[in-house]
Structure 1
């Protein structure tokens, strides 16, 4: 049944909507409140999502999603004309065009997401304005561009702005949540892991991330671990890692601090979600597991160097963030000659002080 029109776009009580947000882990998590928004403004809406295969666990058990389309765009880029890539694209186009979408929202904003939105065959493909696009060619694939407003400071706000405008209801008037769900077998596995830890608080260190300009220094992590162990007797610190360098840093912290620190086994995204749900505090930089923690209700302390905490940090009473105090902080650079100086500008006292604010009692 037709409800109304918004700038020429038909809105219905029953709608089919496609979200194109393929990566990264943190950005997909930042986009999760879109699902809640759409459900509140159109309770009968059917929502589908296109996401990179490795980030599928963030979405796959969400009961509010009708269908998820997993893609492998990194493989496509490596071999764009291979038989496998061509078959993947044909299969994706067939899946997306099986039934028509009323609206497609491209909140990735690059060439690959624009192509995916276009493959849907939808008449109404909505995305970012050209000036905020890193890959300007994306603008060729969207039929309507939504400008940000000055109040859209956080990346989640920006995604919600793009999605909310056609519905005529400001997201800021609403209480919105972005939930992550796990399979029961993964919940049970996390329970078994936690039972194997000593009684007491559990602190989760996320020592790694994608850019070197988002990392902290090893001495900072060691000193923070020492302060936490002294302040919270009986607490356990678990360290997550995803590369040999991160594992080596974790082993260094264990060696220097002792039995109160444990290196986690290598965990997939699917295994990591329920573990993060069960710890008492997650500490890390601008990285997916920090945002995963916020989504599942775990308090966080996060720090920001090359990126801006105002745009990315979890908000609310359960979260604290620290921005590097350097004038060039938030530069967006992936490498810098002042990298070591910038790392050192995030003081142990600042991070530990945020920890104590969230967990004041032993």
Structure 2
């Protein structure tokens, strides 16, 4: 597809989750690089909307609350309000007619949104043609699409969206990867954020290991920052702060505020979680800890000062520390 006099209007449908939203940003930036005057809008769950809006290529974010609405439709006390909010969302979604609608999620809920979105005459809806390893996929996405794009089953989460967009719009995937969040702050605080929270217990790293890493960081002159996303993570942060002198427990922050705070840090050490993926997007020195080998699919890719450490049942403190020192002193941003 060649560039046009009128701006190419593109709709991205990637609703959740946090890590998936971050992993979509390079694809959005690729489209802007191929079509500099494109108008790129993004439908995303409301809780992730402030972060999606920080992506430099995004023109408009269209927030939705599909998770909440699905429950609200079945409760008499919330059904009326849910219908009102649903109608408001559809009106917002259908303000524009798009040349290209890209369902990058491959689920029934994203297919529904793509189907509701308006196309210009001759416009197309694109979606995944097949499941890829470790990712959810529902065939309804193919029924809605005008064209289903086949993707290699063994592919990194970032590359999955980048390849689909490139095939749909007819350009080569750029060699350089850009998340569109900008570089980390030039004048950074001498602090390292420890991202200990994750949505799954089997991804956690032992509290004693976090204490040991925090102690070593303090001995090297770094302060320790402790973000959290829920009450259980806040209590863990407080427990670590009790034994790590001068550790700072961040207040509960929105995702865009968390991204802004993390950008001020020297670097991040974290488990496989959305916040760790934000650290990657911010181009910070970063070590991502994995208790099983899914790092090939979601871990830092092609970066010189970011890496994954993988071991079962869990990586050792020494392995994580050695990786941190290597990332901290690496030069440049990409391989």
Q: Which residue does the alignment assign to 1:176?
A: 177
The 5 Å alignment of 1:144-163 reads 144-149=147-152, 153-163=155-165
The reply to whether residue 275 of structure 1 matches residue 244 of structure 2 is no
Task: List structure 1 segments (4+ residues) > 6 angstroms apart after TM superposition.
Answer: none
Alignment of 1:1-362 (within 5 A): 12=4, 14-80=7-73, 82-122=79-119, 124-132=124-132, 133-149=136-152, 153-171=155-173, 173-180=174-181, 201-230=190-219, 232=220, 234-259=221-246, 261-306=247-292, 308-315=294-301, 316-324=303-311, 326=312, 342=313, 345-359=314-328
Q: Matched residues in 2 for 1:213 and 1:117: separation?
A: 34
8 Å CA contact 2:130–2:151 kept in 1: the answer is no
Q: TM-score, normalised by structure 1?
A: 0.80
Structure 2 unaligned regions, length at least 5 = 331-335
Alignment correspondent of 1:339: none
Distance 1:39 1:117, change over 3 A: same
- Contact 2:217/2:223 (8 A) holds in 1: no
Task: Note the alpha carbon deviations across 1:225-281, whole angstroms, 9 max, x for none.
Answer: 122223x0x32011111222222222222222323x222222221221111001011
TM-score norm. by structure 2 comes to: 0.86
Q: Take 1:359 and 1:62, find their aligned partners in 2: how far apart are those partners?
A: 25
Shift of 1:43: 1.8
How many Å apart are 1:167 and its aligned residue?
A: 2.6
CA drift of 1:63 comes to 4.7
Shift of 1:52: 0.9
Q: Aligned equivalents of 1:317 and 1:145: distance in 2?
A: 34
- 3-state SS in 1 of match to 2:268: strand
Q: Distance in 2 between matches of 1:212 and 1:135?
A: 26
Contact 1:282/1:300 (CA < 8 Å) preserved in 2? yes
SS in 1 for 2:84: helix
Change (3 A) 1:128 1:266: same
- How many residue pairs match? The answer is 316
The 3 A distance-change label for structure 1 pair 84 and 181 is farther
RMSD across aligned positions (CA): 2.5
1:301/1:321 contact within 8 Å kept: yes
**Structure 1: how far apart are the matches of 2:326 and 2:67?**
41
